[in-house]
Amino acid sequence: MFGWEYPPLHLGGLGVACHGLVQGLLKNGVRVTLVLPHPHSAEEEHDVLAPTSAQMKSVQIPSIMGPYDTHRQYLHKITTISKEMQQVYGSDLPEAVAHFTAMSAEITKDVHADIVHCHDWMTYGAGIEAAKQHQKPLVAHIHATELDRTHFHPNQWIYEMERSGLAAAHRIIAVSNYTKGILTEHYGIPAEKIRVVHNGSSEEHLQPDHAITASVRHQRHPMVLFLGRMTIQKGPVQFLEMATKVHAVRPDVQFVMAGEGDMMNEVIDRACKMGLGNCMVFTGKVSSKEAKKLYQQAECFVMPSLSEPFGLVALEAIAHDTPVIVSRQSGVSEVMAHGFTVDFWDTDKMADCVLTILREKSLAMQLKIEAPRSLRNLRWEQQAGHVRSIYLDLITA
């Protein structure tokens, strides 16, 4: 299995999903060799990314390639290191991907695998080479497309890398029917080649401490939360537009935007110009522990993504007893039985949903009680069982 990131070193949902899937596969009796980019060699930081056991081995490829890197972001990182290290990691993003591909194929040539499984476009080259080398079926797992990340204004090189990887795969796993639709419509992938396996929810998220939650929410200013990367995909501008409408009716409401990204400065500037300076807090990147506290403090969580293949963060909010409002353009809306769904562009309705949760205490309580039930059928062990079935179908075909 070729991945981008893995806890504790991760920036977003892909690392959380990869961890959940791997742990679920292990519980289903699948042995996994996990290959990951890492800025240090295995000798320098042995087993930082994943433990090695009889069922699981971790292989680290020297690389500073990040899961959400654009060409510009990678170039910015590479200029901060020495010329010698630039030669090791790759002087630009295409060279970094080629390096990861070649190193991955070489270092896994003696691995005895039945299936090659790769996550998202940066690993598709490695997956293709390994599948050819071992003459085994290739599974391409798609967590987010270039069209999602750029609101349908893709970098053409990355888009072509995605399309070639998806075309080479024997089977594609999409994290939602929403994503499956994008693959068939915009990448020309036959629907019968795609299997939908929704992301799971980590078990430790399923039992919030209701006493603590009630205590921290008993505060003077009700709080509305955004938690995600500050990028066009995640809809931070739409959150601001919603906040202005809520603020006009309820000036006592506090808004918190947690996360970082390339739009951070723009979003802060917009907030000030929109008159939200006194009611908007920007936290920057938060740890898992800090995120948990934010969920516990929030009266509701809003995910206004323009195009969200899944949206694990919404499941985290639900698991922490927080009512959620999510974009209809998201995969998580397919599995969320109790919560509000709105079009990302309909910030009037989004604001109305927030005000309804703040005003209707009985409704908010009902959402807190009913929403977590949707998580019961989304345990990672169960979702990994579906993936194992896909493996078996390919092996026995």
pLDDT tens across 242-273, in order?
999 999 999 999 999 999 999 999 999 999 99
Q: Is the pLDDT of residue 205 over 50?
A: no
Number of domains in the chain: 2
pLDDT, one tens digit per residue, over 287-303 is: 889 999 999 999 999 99
- Helical H segments across 250-287, by residue range: 264-273
> What b/e sequence results for 238-263 when a residue is b if at least 16 CB atoms lie within 10 Å of its CB, and e otherwise?
bbbbbbbbbbeebeebbbbbbbbbeb
148 and 39 both lie in a single domain: yes
- When pLDDT is averaged across residues 353-382 and rounded to a whole number, the result is 93
In the DSSP assignment, the letter for residue 371 is G
In a domain, 29, yes or no: yes
Tokens of 33: 């060799």
CATH number, domain of 116, equals 3.40.50.2000
CA-nearest of 241, 358, 235 to 303 is 235
Residues 32 and 128 in one domain: yes
Say whether both 178 and 302 belong to one domain.
no
What strands, in cross-sheet order, belong to the sheet with 116-119? 116-119, 138-142, 171-174, 194-196
CB neighbour burial string for 183-216, b if at least 16 within 10 angstroms, e if fewer: bbeebebeeeebbbbbbbbbeebbebeeeebeeb
Look over the chain and give the mean of its residue pLDDT values, rounded to a whole number: 90
Inside any domain, residue 8: no
The answer to whether residue 139 scores a pLDDT higher than 90 is yes
Residue 31: pLDDT band with limits 50, 70, 90: very high
Same domain for 24 and 98, yes or no, is: yes
Pick from 200, 203, 172, 211: nearest CA to 188: 172
Q: How confident is the model at residue 39 (pLDDT cuts 50, 70, 90)?
A: confident
Whether 229 is in a domain gets the answer yes
Per-residue confidence band for 215, with pLDDT thresholds at 50, 70 and 90: low
Does residue 4 lie within any of the structural domains?
A: no
Pick the residue with more confidence: 363 or 64? 363
Structural domain of 270: 203-375
Q: Which pLDDT does position 270 carry in this prediction?
A: 97
Residue 6 lies in a domain: no
Contact 304, 327 (CB under 8 A): yes
Supply the pTM of this predicted model: 0.91
> Residue 307: what are its φ and ψ, rounded to 5°?
-155, 105
Long-range contacts of 97-103 (CB under 8 A, 24+ apart): 97/65, 97/122, 97/125, 97/161, 98/125, 99/63, 100/37, 100/61, 100/63, 100/65, 100/125, 100/126, 101/125, 101/126, 101/129, 102/129, 103/61, 103/62, 103/63
Tell me which residue has tokens 């795609």: 194
142: tokens are 């798609």
How does DSSP classify residue 172?
A: E
